[in-house]
Amino acid sequence: MIHEKNSQKPVTPLWEGDDELFAIVRKELYTAVVGDIMDKMGLLHQFLPPQIQPLRTDMFVVGRAMTVLEADVFSEDPDMGYNEILKKPFGLMLEALDDLKKNEVYICTGASATYALWGELMSTRAMILGAAGAVVDGYSRDTKGILDLNFPTFSYGRYAQDQAPRGKVIDFRVPLEIRGVRILPGDIVLGDMDGVCIVPQAAAAEVFTRAIEKARGEKMVQQKILEGMSAGQAFAKYGIM
């Protein structure tokens, strides 16, 4: 926790641009400390469901949300219905994938958890485009290939059943909601072995400034405790515990 007596001080960002911010985040931050700061700011519903986990525990993702909306389909006849998007093999999935930009995270929801929403070839294309990772509200597949690529992928786990005849991407770069967590294009997605949280774009400067200060302060306090300072003394002096 962090003592709130200085919580109203003006925010001066410690970075310039996303590249510098994300480098600091990868080096110094983790979801727990960022989540704690958002709690203190009244942003109490920013963690995605705990089922969404990295394919390997050392995977870490930070980047801007490139939101993708998926829907289940039930017709075996591609010519049925009036929606031309649903007549395409993957809907707009290929367009969404090709639209990924540097430092973006492909984040997808809307489907039932009955097929995979991410795989090796998608990871390969995303890497070439400079994307930061993928977070899906469902399963991923081609696990060995994704692990070999070392592409940060967060999902419910491993399941090979394909999306092609079962689901279609119906839109992208639109607002999403995952279990009560609202995600807008450009929000910051942060994930590690403890889960995935969403930092709203409008609050990002304050959230990350305070999180960096807290993380650095905790390291200092830890050193003081290792040197023999009591927890009470440390909190009284530094306001951190």
Structural domains of the chain ordered from first start? 17-44+202-238 (no CATH), 53-199 (3.50.30.40)
Terminal C-alpha separation, the chain: 6
Whole-angstrom distance, CA of residue 55 vs CA of residue 142: 11
> Cα 195–199–202 angle (5° rounding)?
175
Whole-angstrom distance, CA of residue 151 vs CA of residue 54: 10
Tell me how long the chain is.
241
The neighbouring-strand residues paired with 136 are: 108
Per-residue pLDDT tens for 163-178? Answer: 989 999 999 999 999 9
The region of weakest confidence among 45-54, 75-84, 126-135, 147-156 is 75-84
Per-residue pLDDT tens for 197-216? Answer: 999 999 999 999 999 999 98
pLDDT at 15: 84
Whole-angstrom distance, CA of residue 218 vs CA of residue 238: 9
Provide the 10 A C-beta neighbour count for residue 12. Answer: 7
- Which residue, chain included where needed, has tokens 């996303």? 18
Smallest CA-to-CA distance from 97 within 118, 83, 114, 113 is with 118
